């Protein structure tokens, strides 16, 4: 048998939107016999993470081996170009002689022909279609546990997991809807487990199990509110199990099947690991570390996580974690954690939480979700697994805070973090090219951007006069960080009012919007309204530019007759055009709906 034929087949089974709610991870409420058995036959990873806590950017990282924040593909539901230098792993595997199938989800968050990346990409794609003698790589994406599966109501009587038996996390209020959705979700986990069982049985019956390495993992955490989309453990920690046949025991990551592996693993490591398993070299552009195969690399000390725009809600956070602490830096702390996101709030549990908070029925811990974020967060995840008690201001943890803060800056510089530039400027700067390439070009003032972002988000009273100077910079993104610093430190920013007024004719949308928001917070409401309406009424502005304005209008609850008229007219003009998922992917429409509902207009 040739060396090529000795290479393993590889089967990936992914589930959607679920944290490690499995019996093998110690969850007594879960009913997961298949995955528990798989863990006993394979290796269960205890420190595996999605680098982004939501589908598309998480999958962008997986398919490229490059952080979505480095690719310029971090913003949820976008199709910005991918660099031609960055090649999806499926194409590399095919070039190496593998038959590659995907059944069926793509969702890679960049522009391109996804199907062309695979030998077969369809609801019928299957390893059994592989030519005889050719090794296969096959993915099956199970949608059963997706967030949307808790939207349709299932009666309590039909639930197998009973709401009264749910052990609620302390950050969730004890509402009927919360208990119900948790129970319904555990039913979906059980259904997903059965689907995994069917696939593994089919593999066994095909006679290929002894030649096939099986991976099971979830595409990020989830799914009830404060998990998916958030950089906490609940949104990023994933179940991850690998079963390796005896003939490939040289690849065992621990002594024997059934053992756990505590190595730090994240999705950016998957593409390099695939190449290592099939004996191919990792391209220089890949940013992860192979953790299995012929070319295992050293374990990273840290895992890096990112959060950008989530559908219609604009935000930016970065996180660094080791095996004891999680550090989060919030670059837009003037936005609350639980912004009202249209898709998320289809869940009755999320609605009930918001209603409880507005009625004053949430306790202090449950109320945090609806309050502005601190600039920095630090959690001892060993002793505070729910990440409820922020240690960033505790002098006892000063050394840890500084260490993690420095690591975040080092990493952002290393990957050339695209989020230092507002999304509304991508096309202007990159043209038809990718932001990955732009950030590495001489045109990008990267070091100045990073310094401005760090200065803007420094804790304490801020550097107001430095922010005023940033507002005068020739680069609009650096001006963006100047006004961001003023907004974060708005209580000390009164002396910046003349500079903000002088900047009111700013043309770069994101910068102009935040100038308007800062002016409004400092009492200059008429000037703020002028800025917002100038952008909203400009027919040459994009959906994303309008969405930026509407995020600010909502955040400061800025209601004027003319703004309300524009929002109402826009909403009614689009309402009849949109159907199905279009309602959620037209972000300016979603924002108009949210604002009008809050104002009791609709």
Which residues are catalytic, by number?
Answer: 55
Which of 263, 266, 306, 305 shows the shortest CA–CA distance to 286? 266
Q: What single DSSP character describes residue 505?
A: T
Contacts 24+ apart (CB under 8 A), 206-209: 206/127, 206/128, 208/9, 208/127, 209/245
* Alpha-carbon span 96 to 275, nearest angstrom: 9
User: Which residues, 6+ apart, have CB-to-CB distance to 286 below 8 Å?
Assistant: 64, 65, 66, 268, 271, 272
DSSP state of 131: P
Phi then psi for residue 310, to 5 deg, are: -110, 100
Question: What are the helix (H) ranges across 14-108?
Answer: 33-41, 55-64, 68-71, 89-95
| H or E stretch covering 218 | strand 212-218
What is the dihedral sign for C-alpha 54, 55, 59, 60?
negative
Four-point Cα dihedral 221, 338, 31, 144, nearest 10:
-70
Nearest of 52, 46, 58, 161 to residue 107 by alpha carbon:
58
Alpha carbons 565 and 596: distance in angstroms, whole number: 10
Angstrom distance (rounded) from CA 539 to CA 9: 53
DSSP lists the bridge partners of residue 11 as: 138, 214
């Amino acid at each position: 048998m040739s060396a090529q034929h000795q290479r393993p087949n590889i089967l990936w089974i992914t589930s959607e939107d679920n944290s490690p709610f499995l019996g093998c991870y110690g969850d007594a409420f879960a009913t997961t016999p298949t995955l528990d058995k798989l863990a006993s036959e394979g290796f269960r990873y205890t420190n595996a993470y999605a680098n982004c806590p939501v589908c598309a950017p998480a999958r962008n990282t997986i398919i490229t081996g490059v952080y979505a924040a480095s690719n310029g593909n971090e913003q949820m539901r976008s199709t910005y170009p991918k660099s031609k230098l960055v090649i999806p792993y499926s194409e590399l595997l095919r070039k190496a002689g593998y038959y590659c199938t995907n059944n069926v989800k793509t969702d890679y968050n960049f522009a391109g022909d996804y199907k062309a990346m695979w030998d077969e990409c369809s609801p019928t794609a299957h390893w059994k279609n592989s030519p005889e003698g050719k090794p296969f790589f096959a993915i099956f994406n199970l949608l059963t546990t997706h967030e949307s599966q808790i939207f349709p109501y299932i009666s309590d009587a039909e639930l197998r997991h009973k709401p009264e038996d749910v052990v609620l996390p302390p950050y969730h209020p004890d509402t009927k809807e919360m208990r119900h959705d948790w129970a319904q979700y555990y039913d979906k986990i059980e259904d997903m487990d059965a689907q995994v069982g069917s696939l593994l049985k089919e593999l066994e019956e095909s006679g290929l199990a002894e030649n096939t390495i099986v991976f099971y993992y979830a595409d990020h955490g989830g799914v009830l509110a404060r998990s998916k989309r958030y950089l906490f453990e609940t949104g990023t920690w994933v179940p991850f199990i690998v079963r390796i046949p005896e003939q490939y025991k040289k690849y065992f990551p621990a002594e024997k099947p059934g053992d756990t592996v505590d190595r730090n693993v994240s999705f950016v490591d998957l593409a390099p690991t695939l190449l290592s398993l099939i004996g191919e070299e990792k391209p220089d552009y890949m940013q992860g570390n192979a953790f299995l195969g012929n070319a295992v690399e050293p374990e990273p000390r840290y895992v890096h996580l990112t959060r950008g725009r989530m559908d219609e809600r604009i935000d930016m956070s970065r996180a660094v974690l080791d095996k004891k602490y999680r550090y989060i830096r919030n670059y837009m702390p003037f936005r609350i954690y639980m912004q009202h996101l249209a898709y998320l709030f289809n869940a009755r549990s999320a609605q009930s939480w918001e209603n409880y908070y507005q009625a004053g029925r949430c306790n202090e811990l449950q109320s945090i979700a609806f309050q502005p974020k601190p600039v920095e967060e630090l959690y001892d995840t060993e002793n505070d697994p729910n990440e409820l008690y922020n240690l960033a201001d505790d002098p006892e943890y000063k050394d840890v805070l500084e260490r993690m803060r420095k690591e975040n800056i080092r990493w952002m510089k290393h990957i050339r973090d695209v989020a230092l530039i507002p999304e509304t400027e991508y096309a202007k700067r990159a043209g038809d090219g990718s932001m990955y390439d732009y950030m590495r070009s001489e045109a990008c003032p990267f070091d100045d951007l990073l310094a401005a972002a760090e200065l803007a988000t420094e804790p304490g009273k801020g550097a107001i006069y430095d922010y005023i100077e940033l507002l005068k910079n020739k680069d609009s993104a650096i001006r963006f960080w100047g006004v961001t610093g003023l907004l974060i430190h708005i209580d000390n920013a009164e002396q910046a009012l003349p500079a903000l007024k002088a900047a009111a004719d700013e043309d770069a949308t994101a910068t102009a919007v935040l100038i308007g928001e800062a002016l409004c917070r400092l009492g200059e409401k008429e000037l703020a309204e002028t800025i917002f309406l100038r952008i909203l009424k400009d027919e040459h502005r994009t959906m994303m530019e309008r969405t930026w304005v509407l995020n600010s209008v909502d955040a400061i609850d800025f209601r004027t007759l003319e703004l309300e008229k524009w929002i109402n007219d826009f909403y009614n003009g689009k309402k009849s055009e949109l159907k199905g998922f279009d309602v959620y992917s037209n972000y300016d429409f979603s924002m108009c709906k949210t604002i009008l509902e809050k104002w009791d207009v609709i």
